[in-house]
Amino acid sequence: MNKLLEDINKKKKNMNHVNDTIVTSVDGKKYKVDLSGHDHDLKNNELIVPSSSNRGDISYGFVVDTKPDDKVYQVIIPNHWLSSGSISGNNSYCKLYIGSQDAAANLNELQLNNIKSILNVGYGIPNHFERTNSHSNSNHNNNDYVISYLNIDMYDDVTYNIRDQFNSCFEFIEKQTSILIHCNAGISRSSTILLAYMMNKFKKPLQECLSLVRESRSCVKPNQGFLKQLEEYEKTLKLR
């Protein structure tokens, strides 16, 4: 009987670690992050191994995604949102698209959707259709299709302070009529910027904005650190 109880207790102890996850920070170090809190607090961060020094791991600073994903996804703003927020009395607003780095390099897709502005928040991703390289880039831009860019290198890391970049991104978006917001995978950083902009622009709570974005691109998922910052931003905007 004692042996049975001992085995049960061991299994219970092991189950307590089911929600732990391993993340890699910008400097290549790996951390165990406990995500069991209901409010997504990051607690008990524990350095477990410096990666590149003894394991040969590479820290990319973004989600590595090898699946083809070269389409843009427009977030359709409901009509009743247009009478709220900062566009009351004016139905003009920037058309919002989200996608991956592959979409940002797909000239046909950009032309089809008449996208002339791109907010690049990935890491190490070239701007393919700037005037300086519009004739020579690898995408065979024979029509001299020139795009206006804002490029901010961001890391997809739970410790990265993405909120510091909100205002610069918002100012750029506000000057455009249609825009693609992309990072490397089009899942975490780009969606965080898009969600923050929508919360600020339309004065809608985070979960409502997230549900709307996922209607267009179901895979969007800010990392836990970004989600926490979005929740704090939501409180700052007094949306809940």
Catalytic (active-site) positions: 183
Q: Which long-range contacts (CB under 8 A, 24 or more apart) does 50-58 make?
A: 51/24, 52/28, 57/24, 57/28, 57/30, 58/28
Cβ atoms of 98 and 213 within 8 Å: the answer is yes
Q: How far is CA 56 from CA 14, 46, 49, 212, in A?
A: 28, 20, 12, 40
Which of the 8 DSSP states describes residue 238?
Answer: T
CA atoms within 13 A on the CB side of 162: 34
Cβ atoms of 164 and 103 within 8 Å: the answer is no
What would the two tokens of residue 172 be? 């750029």
SS (H, E, C) 81-113: HCCCHHHCCCCCCCEEEEECHHHHCCHHHHHHC
- DSSP SS3 for 214: helix
Q: How far is CA 226 from CA 3, 170, 208, 223, in A?
A: 45, 17, 17, 5
Place of tokens 């189950």: 15
How far apart CA 165 and CA 24 sit, in angstroms, is: 21
